[in-house]
Amino acid sequence: MMKLFLSPTSPFARKVKVALMEKNLIREVEEIRVDPWSSPAELVQANPLCQVPTLVTDEGLALANSDSILAWLEHHTPQPALLPSGDPERGHAMAIAAQAQGLMQYTVDIVLERRRPTAQRSVTFTDRRMAAIMRVVTALGGEWMPIPGFGIDGIGVACALGYLDLRLPEYPWREVSPELARWYAGVVSRPSLKASAPPT
């Protein structure tokens, strides 16, 4: 049985859980809830980076990094496909997924910055991250709208937006990008997204 180290609020871990559900693999995985910040011994042993998500395969291979895990899963269980096989859709899906990955990473950056003691916080850094978040949200509602279906791009974007709602609820992304809000409303009740939603 595969093992997935995850935490309930990590948007990166959510991506992997959603992909496992969309590929009907979730029953083949034991979920191990951890707090990576407390450096639990079993996570450190499996993954020296001590991050969630970490997927340990049946062969004992420990994969870190949500995008690497999704790529491995796509190869391990090609159907249902989460990445289009043809051009230009494949490239578009990868480009959008990369923006979504950056969007969640930048949101995490702001969360971590806010947790630092006031004197150590950098307003310049937070402002730079926030400006990029706003650009990405606009782009995702326009030329980089997730492609039809629900593959790596849609999974990434949905998890990034769910994380924005959780961590930056004051940022009105739905007003900034009504098209993206409409897209999100159309996917958010998928069983994979409901089952992996962060606690509110």
Ligand X SMILES: N[C@@H](CCC(=O)N[C@@H](CS)C(=O)NCC(=O)O)C(=O)O
Give the single-character DSSP code of 7.
Answer: -
Q: Is 193 in the site for ligand X (CB under 6 A)?
A: no
Residue 50 or 177 with smaller CB distance to ligand X? 50
Report the distance separating Cα 146 and Cα 128, nearest Å. Answer: 25
Of the two residues 129 and 177, which places its CB atom closer to ligand X in the complex?
Answer: 129
Closer residue to ligand X in complex, CB, 65/177: 65
C-beta of 108 vs 188, nearer to ligand X = 108
Residues between 108 and 147 with contacts to ligand X, criterion CB under 6 A: 108
User: What Å distances lie between residue 7 and 13, 77, 194, CA to CA?
Assistant: 7, 24, 16
Report, in Å, the least distance between residue 49 CB and ligand X.
Answer: 7
Listed ranges 48-56, 91-99, 168-176, 184-192: which one lies at the site for ligand X (CB under 6 A): 48-56
Q: Determine, following the binding rule CB under 6 A, whether residue 51 of this chain makes contact with ligand X.
A: yes
Candidate ranges 23-31, 62-70, 86-94, 143-151; the one touching ligand X (CB under 6 A): 62-70
Q: Which stretch binds ligand X (CB under 6 A): 50-58, 118-126, 145-153, 186-194?
A: 50-58
Query: Under a CB-based contact definition with an 8 Å cutoff, are residues 53 and 66 in contact?
Result: yes
Structure tokens that stand for 183 in this block: 């897209």
Residue with Cβ nearer ligand X (102 or 138): 102
Q: Tell me the CA distances in angstroms from 26 to 1, 4, 52, 161, 193, one per residue in order.
A: 10, 10, 17, 23, 13
The DSSP H or E segment spanning 56 is strand 54-56
152-167 vs 123-140: helix axis angle to the nearest 10?
140
At 138, list the tokens. 């606009």
Binding site for ligand X (CB under 6 A): 10, 12, 36-37, 50-53, 65-67, 108
